[in-house]
Structure 1
Amino acid sequence: MEKLVSPKKTKEIVKKYGFQFSKSLGQNFLIDENIIYKIIDGAQIGKEDVVIEVGPGIGTLTQYLAERAKKVLAIEIDKNLIPILEGETLKGYENVEVVNADVLKVDIIKLIYEKLDGQKVKVVANLPYYVTTPIIMRFLEEEIPVKDIVVMVQKEVADRMQARPNTKDYGALTVAVQYYCKPHVITKVPRSVFIPQPKVESTVIRLKVLDKPKVEVEDREIFFKVVKASFAKRRKTLLNSLSMSSLGLDKEEIKKVLSMSSISEKRRAESLTIQEFAVLANNIAAIKKSI
């Protein structure tokens, strides 16, 4: 099968099948081979790797993944793309299997054991921007056997994922991603390398999944509640933000916890390191147990 990466070939396939791009599904097809190689090289795909690709589109990136990986499982939500993928663009690739499903609803662990022999997977995707965070967090939070996530996302989202404390991009997403992963930007991506062109710039980012979370917490649910509550009103002090949250502690109890954690009442969420959030959450867990 001729490579799809050229604008000419992509337009031919789209026209042949009468395919209509869906704005609601955030469909933008990649037409630049250099970017594809940067994605694959950044993911360090080798012959023993099994890959889950989320949203293969017409199979542009999938073709290149198939040439490097042991097997590719492509999960595509749009049923209109399945005839294109199975009937034409991926027809000659025996190591590719296409599943028509919503990645946010399908049983991913079951798929991995049924289709990929239960191996640890690498996730590679040009993600629809409107569901980037839910998809990434699903792979991280549900103990799915993942060793690497390499995704193209909106530039601002990538900036938040790799942000540092005391910056405007630092927030709840930063802490959540860095709790599980070590982020590294692979390349920036201009709008011109897509059909149709999106309205935003993109970034390819690699999230190297850690063998164990970056910090030890007594209660993961409380840890993330503390993080979300702290950033919910980021202009307020931690004392005020946490006192107004659903943690179930009054202002005096929050004062006590902050003192135990050696964190000033006047600090704001964006100034805390992930280690400080862990200390704070662990002390809140201890206080709640004693009540």
Structure 2
Amino acid sequence: MDKIATPKRTKELISKYNFYFSKGLGQNFIIDQNILNKITSAVKITKDTEVLEVGPGIGSLTQSLAEAARRVVAVEIDQKLIPILKESLADYENVEVINKDILKVDLHKLLEEKFEGKEIVVVGNLPYYITTPIIMKFLEEKVPITAIVIMIQKEVADRMKAKAGTKDYGALSIAVQYYCDIENVMIVPPSVFIPQPKVDSSVIRLQLLEEPRVKVKREDLFFKVVKDAFGKRRKTLLNALSSGELGLSKELVRRILESCGINEMRRGETLSIEEFANLSNLLAEEL
């Protein structure tokens, strides 16, 4: 079958169905097959791999995935794209398209109904404005997936990969690294999209860890401590943690930090994920 990811074929489909791009949905379609080949390669597909694709668009990446994977289930929010996908993917019997909002989908139910206990990888070219909510939904709901391979805004990818003490390091860095190993696949320029975004994109692979990177007594408390520590980046840990949503007293915060061997004048962006775990574990014993 002819490749969808060419300027000519993409424009033909858009014109035939009188499709208009939605800024609100952050739609950008890839028109470079080499990029799609690299994304598909990063998925590390075997004969048993089944793919859940988020946001197939007109099916460019879906086509590449379908030619390599055992099965692809693609979830598309835009009703106007469904007729296009029916045409562009008509020759692929191992593809199913579902017209739903992935953020409102019961992931456990979806995976149980659509997949057969094989190796499941999540793949997608995610809209910039909802990148983080989508990724965190998959991680926090602890669904049975092995990896997430996604194209996202480079700036967000940099934040996910950031290490303690760097300007990009924050709550998102810790949240993703708590659950995953992160591999940078490639940087993608605006020129390979229709329409062209204003910034570079990155393709990253998130390999789910069998167990979280650090052991915590209360996961909810761990993430609340992280959130408070980064709530106001210029504040010291003592002030940030004693004025955050946890409502901790300065006396308690000072005592816990001292027990951890953490200087109360440090700021949240200097703490490693291991230090945050130790801090939250000692705090769990007090609350």
TM-score by length of 2: 0.99
- 2:203 counterpart residue number: 204
- 1:82 counterpart residue number: 82
- 1:6 counterpart residue number: 6
- 1:191 counterpart residue number: 190
- 1:254 counterpart residue number: 253
* Aligned: 1:56 with 2:34: no
Residues 216 and 222, structure 2, Cα contact 8 Å, conserved in 1: yes
Residues 181 and 208, structure 1, Cα contact 8 Å, conserved in 2: yes
- 2:176 counterpart residue number: 177
TM-score by length of 1: 0.97
In 2, the alpha carbon distance for the partners of 1:249 and 1:194 equals 48
Q: Flag structure 2 segments of 5+ consecutive residues without an equivalent.
A: none
- 1:138 counterpart residue number: 137
CA displacement 1:13-56 (0-9 Å, x = unmatched)? 00000001000000000011111111111111222100000000
In 2, the alpha carbon distance for the partners of 1:119 and 1:110 equals 15
- 1:237 counterpart residue number: 236
Instruction: Tell me the CA shift for residue 118 of structure 1.
Output: 3.6
Residue 184 of structure 1 aligns to a residue whose secondary structure is strand
- 1:65 counterpart residue number: 65
- 2:214 counterpart residue number: 215
CA displacement 1:221-268 (0-9 Å, x = unmatched)? 000000011001111100000000121321111001101111110111
In 2, the alpha carbon distance for the partners of 1:119 and 1:219 equals 31
Alignment of 1:94-109 (within 5 A): 94-109=93-108
In 1, the alpha carbon distance for the partners of 2:278 and 2:119 equals 31
Residues 51 and 121, structure 1, Cα contact 8 Å, conserved in 2: yes
CA displacement 1:84-140 (0-9 Å, x = unmatched)? 112x10111000000000000011211111111243410110000000000000000
* Aligned: 1:92 with 2:125: no
In 2, the alpha carbon distance for the partners of 1:61 and 1:173 equals 27
Sequence identity, in percent?
A: 59
In 2, the alpha carbon distance for the partners of 1:84 and 1:34 equals 22
In 2, the alpha carbon distance for the partners of 1:108 and 1:85 equals 22
Residues 113 and 119, structure 1, Cα contact 8 Å, conserved in 2: no
Structure 1 residue ranges (4+ consecutive) displaced by more than 6 angstroms after TM superposition: none
One-letter code of the match for 1:275?
E
Residues 54 and 127, structure 1, Cα contact 8 Å, conserved in 2: yes
* Aligned: 1:275 with 2:274: yes
- 1:16 counterpart residue number: 16
Residues 188 and 203, structure 1, Cα contact 8 Å, conserved in 2: yes
CA displacement 1:177-208 (0-9 Å, x = unmatched)? 00000011000000000000011110001101
One-letter code of the match for 1:54?
V
Residues 50 and 69, structure 2, Cα contact 8 Å, conserved in 1: yes
Instruction: Tell me the CA shift for residue 212 of structure 1.
Output: 0.5
Residue 156 of structure 1 aligns to a residue whose secondary structure is helix
- 1:39 counterpart residue number: 39
In 1, the alpha carbon distance for the partners of 2:45 and 2:91 equals 20
Residues 54 and 75, structure 2, Cα contact 8 Å, conserved in 1: yes
In 2, the alpha carbon distance for the partners of 1:156 and 1:12 equals 32
One-letter code of the match for 2:5?
V
- 2:122 counterpart residue number: 123
Q: How many residues are treated as equivalent by the alignment?
A: 287
In 2, the alpha carbon distance for the partners of 1:7 and 1:189 equals 17
One-letter code of the match for 1:132?
T
In 1, the alpha carbon distance for the partners of 2:234 and 2:32 equals 42
- 1:228 counterpart residue number: 227
In 1, the alpha carbon distance for the partners of 2:127 and 2:245 equals 32
- Which moved further from structure 2: 126-135 or 39-48? 39-48
In 2, the alpha carbon distance for the partners of 1:47 and 1:32 equals 25
